[in-house]
A and B are shown apart, each in its own frame.
Chain A
Amino acid sequence: MRVAIIVFPGSNCDRDMMVAVEALTGRRPALIWHKQSYLDPVDLAIIPGGFSFGDYLRCGALAAHAPVMNALHDHAARGGAILGVCNGFQILLESGLLPGFLAQNKTLKFVCKQTNLSVEGNAICELTKSLDINERLHIPVAHNEGNYFADAETLDSLESNGQVVLRYAKDETGVSDNPNGSANDIAGICAANGRILGMMPHPERAMGAGHKSADGKKLLQSIFEAIIT
């Protein structure tokens, strides 16, 4: 299992992600500095959370043009697996690897809390196919721009293609746990080929052993299982 974690100036979840990946795979992932213009063959590339380039201009806008992104586009074109978490999700959107935009939270507040997530039953995402769709996942979010937006046509196609992977879950009374105003309660989407997953919640912060939940571990485990098989 070869995993690369892309590091930008301002990334701050790279170390947590590295520890999470090593705990699950037994192998330390490579940390790849953004100025590197090539990527050795990897089974999974991860763009971690943080504030790449200080969130200047728009979150992820400057990182989307870093030298390493050409290599990541090549990796994606070969059908390579990519996971983007939080700022990593924003970078995937800015670079066009996933559709849509993450706008500022509706409340205008940075939100840092545990969220309840539902796994979509019809999702075509290959990376999460072993997740139990009847189970709620408890994974925290921490962001100021997590309000997923896309035009009506894009939203429709995401929904009908099964590209919505994770949603903020509704409770028994039908109230959604949506912390940011995200369209259709979207917390995570995948590319049309099911090999690129972008999500706002931080699985590396829900690894059990001192964390409030171990559901992030389940999610990452499902990705590694998908890649091995």
Chain B
Amino acid sequence: MQVTIIIEKKPGVLDPQAQAINQALSSLGFDDLQDVKMGKQITVSIDTDDEERARYRAAKMCEALLANTVIETYTIEINEPS
């Protein structure tokens, strides 16, 4: 089962890259831009057909390594089989 993990900065954590992107988009004339967030997407394949099990294992991976929960949050999405 394929799982997509999205890792983002927690609200309130300074994200200089997102700020730089925000400024660049504003200077390109996107004056309706309200906010920019930048994160990481990691796709993992887990050997199970059980969605709950896949979510559980992906969360374990996030806690163990993929996210630093001091500054980051993670969300887990199950990919529909293609």
A58 to B20, CA, bound (A): 20
| B13–A149 CB distance below 8 A | yes
**Chain A 104-121 residues near chain B, CB threshold 8 A:** 104-108
Asked if A181 CB lies within 8 Å of chain B CBs, one says yes
Asked if A65 CB lies within 8 Å of chain B CBs, one says yes
| A94–B68 CB distance below 8 A | yes
Q: Chain A binding site: helix, strand, loop or mixed by DSSP?
A: loop
Asked if B75 CB lies within 8 Å of chain A CBs, one says no
How many A-B pairs have beta carbons closer than 8 Å: the answer is 36
Asked if A147 CB lies within 8 Å of chain B CBs, one says yes
B71 and chain A: residue at smallest CB distance: A101
Please count how many residues in chain A sit with their CB below 8 Å of the partner chain's CB atoms. 20
| A61–B65 CB distance below 8 A | yes
| A149–B14 CB distance below 8 A | yes
Which A residues touch B68, using CB under 8 A?
Answer: 58, 61, 94, 101
Q: Chain B binding site: helix, strand, loop or mixed by DSSP?
A: helix
| B70–A57 CB distance below 8 A | no
With contact pairs A57-B65, A57-B66, A65-B65 given, residues A106 and B71 touching in the complex (Cβ less than 8 Å) = no
Asked if A80 CB lies within 8 Å of chain B CBs, one says no
A57 to B67, CA, bound (A): 9
| Smallest CB-CB A-B distances: 8 pairs | A101-B70, A101-B71, A108-B16, A106-B16, A104-B16, A58-B68, A108-B20, A101-B68
Known pairs A104-B16, A105-B16 / 6 extra A-B pairs, C-beta < 8 Å: A99-B70, A101-B70, A103-B13, A106-B14, A108-B16, A151-B70
